[in-house]
Amino acid sequence: MLRMTLTIIAFLMTTHYTSAIANPESNDLKPVTVHDPSAQPTTPPNVEPLIEVLMQTRKSASCIVTLSVDIQGIPFDLTAKCDFAEYEPAAIEAMQSARFAPKFIYKTPVIRVGVEYPIELKM
């Protein structure tokens, strides 16, 4: 029993989440939201938009794409911050094609927020 408790405490310390909230009118549950910055895609992003910008600008760059992942593993609410602003739309377009494995907590599908995906572009 003690070992199980320690595992749960460690999990709660590393992952922030909100509990499911019942909608009294429809008896539906809203999905649980989990802060999961290190989620990795099962289908990688399409890099073609990034390669096109790299060939046009001829500049190496680093980007961080921040996104959320729905319960089907599809990214949404994407933003990008790059060394050069020209790369930001391409980074978002690239990550829109990525897919993630659905995440479950206690058999409940969860929405992941705050996922950060780094992109390095070298000329």
Q: Read off the CATH number of the domain in which 90 is found.
A: 3.30.2420.10
Residue 9 in domain: no
Helix (H) or strand (E) holding 53: helix 48-57
Residue 19 in domain: no
Q: Is 54 helix (H, G, I), strand (E, B) or coil?
A: helix
Residue 105 in domain: yes
Mean pLDDT of the residues in the chain: 80
Environment class of residue 111 by beta-carbon count within 10 Å: exposed (0-12), middle (13-18) or buried (19+)? buried
Confidence of residue 1 (pLDDT cuts 50, 70, 90): very low
Residue 7 in domain: no
pLDDT confidence of residue 15: 40
Residue 79 in domain: yes
pLDDT in tens, 3-62: 332 323 333 333 444 434 333 444 556 668 888 888 889 999 999 999 999 999 999 999
User: What pTM, to 2 d.p., does this model score?
Assistant: 0.73
Angle, helices 88-96 vs 48-57, to 10°: value is 160
Residue 12 in domain: no
The total of structural domains in the chain comes to 1
